[in-house]
Amino acid sequence: MASRKVPIKAVLIDLSGTLHVENTAIPGAVDSLKKLRGTGIPIKFVTNTTKESRRCLFERLIGLGLELRKDEIWSSLWAAQDLLRSRNLKPMLMVDDAALEDFSGLTDYGEEEQNAVVIGLAPSMFNFSQLSKAFRLLLTGAGVPLIAIHCGRYYKRCDGLALGPGPFVRALEYASGCHSEVVGKPSPTFFRSALGDVDPAYAVMIGDDVKDDIGGAQAMGMRGFLVQTGKYRTGDESRISPGPAAVCPSFSEAVDILLKEYAQSEGDS
Ligand SMILES: [Mg+2]
């Protein structure tokens, strides 16, 4: 007799590299997401995407045929603006123009008023002049926080891998001697807020980043399913210990495992 499986009460799904790469859905992802929805298991889309506001991201994903609601998107950008407002901070924002919509009311501070540096994926701002400006602000006094929307080392674009915000966050830390506060994955606070009341032991995270998605989720008691799409590189599964709970060629195979487990746990109950 097959062993009883742990019931699944939440599935967290990464977006970029797992369900899509830029404006192309990963083959099979649209249909598999539909199948997963058929179980009724609550789903959250947890993303470190920092280039786009939640609304832009939602509209783009809907355009790819993915079935989701805006309030199911747990974005690190959204978490960052929430943190700024709750601490009444006046930031120097190093984020892409397309992300500014999420920061309405937080964009108009003069340099003399700024008391925090926020850094996301902002290719047009990753130059000597802007980075030096951020560095000087961090040096102006105690308590100017360096808030990293996430510290991803690189990400997958249509033309290949490209540098993420992580290397630039580390450069500012190195120069100023301060430590960043990381808002997005793999921060436990981020995963916890996405899970709500669900015990991590009953949750699964599916993603293509072995450290930020899988390592981060498993460190707080979830199971992590690594997909071999997006930024996945051969051998990634051996870069964390313990390794991923499952390694799947793509999102579709990850969903197949979940559907099997779900059917089994329903049958056993
Ligand atoms: Mg990803």
Do 141 and 192 belong to one domain?
Answer: no
Do 131 and 212 belong to one domain?
Answer: no
Q: Phi then psi for 176, rounded to 5 degrees?
A: -95, -20
Q: How far is the CA of 206 from the centre of ligand 1 (A)?
A: 9
In a domain? residue 199: yes
pLDDT of residue 119: 96
pLDDT of residue 265: 81
Q: What is the rounded CA–CA span in Å between residue 51 and residue 2?
A: 45
Residue pair 223/203 in contact (Cβ under 8 Å)? The answer is yes
Token pair 């832009």 in the structure block, residue: 56
pLDDT of residue 63: 96
Residue pair 40/258 in contact (Cβ under 8 Å)? The answer is no
In a domain? residue 73: no
Q: How far is the CA of 138 from the centre of ligand 1 (A)?
A: 30
pLDDT of residue 204: 98
Do 167 and 193 belong to one domain?
Answer: no
Query: Is the pLDDT confidence value at 180 over 60?
Result: yes
pLDDT mean over 66-79 = 90
**Model confidence at 37, in pLDDT bands (50, 70, 90)?**
very high
Query: Is the pLDDT confidence value at 269 over 80?
Result: no
Do 97 and 146 belong to one domain?
Answer: yes
Do 175 and 191 belong to one domain?
Answer: no
Number of structural domains in the chain: 2
pLDDT of residue 4: 45
Q: What is the rounded CA–CA span in Å between residue 33 and residue 181?
A: 33
Q: How far is the CA of 109 from the centre of ligand 1 (A)?
A: 32
Q: Which domain holds residue 222?
A: 10-48+186-268
Do 175 and 106 belong to one domain?
Answer: yes
Do 191 and 172 belong to one domain?
Answer: no
pLDDT of residue 239: 96
Do 126 and 142 belong to one domain?
Answer: yes
Query: Is the pLDDT confidence value at 98 over 90?
Result: no
Q: Of the residues 182, 214, 234, which one is the last residue of a structural domain?
A: 182
Do 194 and 157 belong to one domain?
Answer: no
Residue pair 251/19 in contact (Cβ under 8 Å)? The answer is yes
In a domain? residue 134: yes
**Model confidence at 196, in pLDDT bands (50, 70, 90)?**
confident
Query: Is the pLDDT confidence value at 89 over 60?
Result: yes
Q: How far is the CA of 4 from the centre of ligand 1 (A)?
A: 31
> What is the rounded average pLDDT for all residues in the chain?
92
Lowest mean pLDDT among 36-40, 62-66, 82-86, 240-244: 82-86
Which residues in the chain belong to E strands, given as ranges? 10-13, 20-21, 24-25, 43-47, 73-75, 91-94, 116-119, 146-148, 154-157, 160-163, 181-182, 203-207, 223-227, 246-248
Do 85 and 176 belong to one domain?
Answer: yes
Q: How far is the CA of 26 from the centre of ligand 1 (A)?
A: 12
Query: Is the pLDDT confidence value at 266 over 80?
Result: no
In a domain? residue 2: no
Q: Of the residues 182, 212, 233, which one is the last residue of a structural domain?
A: 182
In a domain? residue 212: yes
Please work out, in degrees rounded to the nearest 5, the angle formed at the alpha carbon of residue 208 by the alpha carbons of 167 and 68: 110
Which tokens sit at 228? Answer: 């071999």
Residue pair 204/8 in contact (Cβ under 8 Å)? The answer is yes
Q: How far is the CA of 230 from the centre of ligand 1 (A)?
A: 7
Q: What is the rounded CA–CA span in Å between residue 151 and residue 167?
A: 8
Q: Of the residues 139, 159, 182, which one is the last residue of a structural domain?
A: 182
pLDDT of residue 3: 42
Size (the chain), residues? 269
pLDDT mean over 109-120 = 93
Q: How far is the CA of 100 from the centre of ligand 1 (A)?
A: 21
Q: How far is the CA of 143 from the centre of ligand 1 (A)?
A: 32
Q: How far is the CA of 126 from the centre of ligand 1 (A)?
A: 21
pTM for the model: 0.79
State yes or no: cis peptide before 200, omega within 30 of 0: no
Of residues 221, 152, 186, the one with CA closest to residue 10: 221
Which tokens sit at 75? Answer: 């974005």
In a domain? residue 127: yes
Of residues 168, 44, 16, 157, the one with CA closest to residue 95: 168
pLDDT of residue 166: 95
CATH code for the domain of 111? 3.40.50.1000
Q: How far is the CA of 140 from the centre of ligand 1 (A)?
A: 35
Q: b/e per residue, 76-111, with b = 16+ CB within 10 A? A: bbbbbbebbeeeebebbbbbbeebeebbeebeeeee
* Residue scoring higher pLDDT (74 or 18): 18
pLDDT mean over 93-107 = 90
* Residue scoring higher pLDDT (90 or 82): 90
pLDDT of residue 5: 65
Ligand 1 is an ion; its neighbours by CB within 5 Å are 14, 16-17, 208
Residue pair 84/104 in contact (Cβ under 8 Å)? The answer is no
Query: Is the pLDDT confidence value at 135 over 90?
Result: yes
